[in-house]
Structure 1
């Protein structure tokens, strides 16, 4: 038997409140567990404002988990919702821009780039030039970064083991991929001068990109050269994008089941631990 709409609403509010409390305490695992439980009640919720609250909270949790491609897509979805005020839409769109720039390469970031560079609302945003260069596979100048950096939240400013911020790593990775479109063979020193970074950082970053399959090439440590190769016909699987895609498809299946078989879905939801 399906959960009555009023009861579903009460459960949704309860799960969202728990998720918000966990998020404030920086307990991201508990926050996501609760927002996932809330997602199972979507088909029975008619309150649009409650759904907006759910969508906004989910985007924030993904953002804090550094799952920027997923967060960017959800922020963009919020930016076109009629229930939001003009200022709220602008903030959601700016958040989408930030997450897109910080996201690793992959099909979800590519999708976001296409959406954003074609959206007239983004043209005057801080970061639009960065988006354009990413989309067009052009080098990103360091001069574009300072104004963008001030927009970042604390979780977006963390540094990795090499001392690089998420933004620095994303831009470096993009620029090295852009360099591979320009040169077939280039020295560490030339790339260092071109990008304004230490040769040692160039070597480390390129080696990492090659080892993960993001870049097709070879590093000659003796002659200090990078040789770029044409992408293979069968490119390696982007596991990060693949996992995100599977999760999104699973969520869509869940929503379809809730829509077409509400009683069966509601029974399964009731049997889940609170």
Structure 2
């Protein structure tokens, strides 16, 4: 029920000759006719009067534009949402004639929901905007902007499935968009989705690329660089992660961040202490501390694999039990972890299950499945011995040749054939 002043104004307009002008004047001065508590009901009553006034589609559409402008100027998000929902129902009865107003109302409501931090409702209301229509032309840039806005809202509520659906739509058109800010938001959404899906290597690269963009503030660039380091640390140990850590370690800005200490130790394959890991964990997001299938967290698994690689740099061989003590695992679990890394090509070595000893091979794994399996210990040791003997012989030959050049008489007199 409308307030008395608005009800009286509507009756006066209904009996006037120029109803359109009367409604436009009422909408323009609505705050002088209505109170904040009655504003929602008054705006709904005005909309009902416009649609029930038999004004014709042209006049009704023109008043629809004025109505949206009035609602936009309302400061209360609650009023915008309540009146917006009712307006959408009204416009739905003549959807083809009010597509533009429908889109504007939905955008207005989405902004109100975002201000109230109801990101799920914002995403849902935006997804109802028709982007393919003969009545309303939407450019590729506007489409991408809508999809990225929806993606960001879904990411705020950790719904990566729907976020990725809308980002994939934007992916098909982003190459046609020149707007730098829009491209930045697209790249950031992509990195956040990869991060949430635990594709940490791709996320680290995406965050680092964003951190190099001059269009964002220095503080934000450092923040995204920090996110890149966190993702690189959480990635599975192996040659790919080593390259990612190397790129970040060589970034001069990294030394100013709190994560630099753990980055340096991981890049240099030094063992990590529990206190360092605990301190690093405090800066991680909830999804980065989620538990994996075996009950450990993503961080715990990353640290165990890293320390295993670090141990391979320190020892030629180690027993299952000693390795387990080093990694904080039992002997069988240490063996299982090592076997998986060797099989996946992230560590080069050989496991002697009879003697319960792991033999580490020097050098870097290739990352290809099955490439981490080392040759038998005896064959490997013989090859090392042969290489050492060959090296020694070559050095002796070099010295002999040098002596012949400098002291030919001495060599001729003392050379034993």
- TM-score normalised to the size of structure 1? 0.76
The answer to whether residue 225 in structure 2 is matched with residue 61 in structure 1 is no
> What is aligned with 1:181?
313
Report the Cα distance in structure 1 between the residues aligned to 2:242 and 2:256, rounded to whole angstroms: 21
Instruction: Map 1:6-17; keep pairs closer than 5 Å.
Output: 7-17=139-149
User: Moved runs in structure 1, 4+ residues, more than 4 A?
Assistant: 230-235
RMSD: 2.6
Report the Cα distance in structure 2 between the residues aligned to 1:236 and 1:170, rounded to whole angstroms: 19
Report the Cα distance in structure 1 between the residues aligned to 2:339 and 2:350, rounded to whole angstroms: 8
The answer to whether residue 293 in structure 2 is matched with residue 169 in structure 1 is no
Offset, 1:193: 3.2
Report the Cα distance in structure 2 between the residues aligned to 1:234 and 1:43, rounded to whole angstroms: 34
SS at the partner of 2:340? helix
- Return the match for 1:70 from 202, 208, 213: 202
- Distance of aligned partners of 1:33 and 1:106 in 2 relative to their CA distance in 1, 3 Å threshold: farther
Long gaps (5+) in structure 2: 1-136, 372-417
Long gaps (5+) in structure 1: 240-274
> What is aligned with 1:251?
none
> What is aligned with 2:390?
none
How many residue pairs align between the two structures? 235
Q: Deviations over 1:154-213 (max 9, x none)?
A: 111111232211111111111112212222221122223333443343122112223323
The answer to whether residue 226 in structure 2 is matched with residue 99 in structure 1 is no
Instruction: Map 1:34-53; keep pairs closer than 5 Å.
Output: 34-53=166-185
Report the Cα distance in structure 2 between the residues aligned to 1:58 and 1:233, rounded to whole angstroms: 29
Name the larger-Rg structure.
2
The answer to whether residue 280 in structure 2 is matched with residue 148 in structure 1 is yes
SS at the partner of 1:57? helix
Report the Cα distance in structure 1 between the residues aligned to 2:205 and 2:147, rounded to whole angstroms: 22
> What is aligned with 2:165?
33
Report the Cα distance in structure 1 between the residues aligned to 2:258 and 2:330, rounded to whole angstroms: 27
Report the Cα distance in structure 2 between the residues aligned to 1:93 and 1:24, rounded to whole angstroms: 20
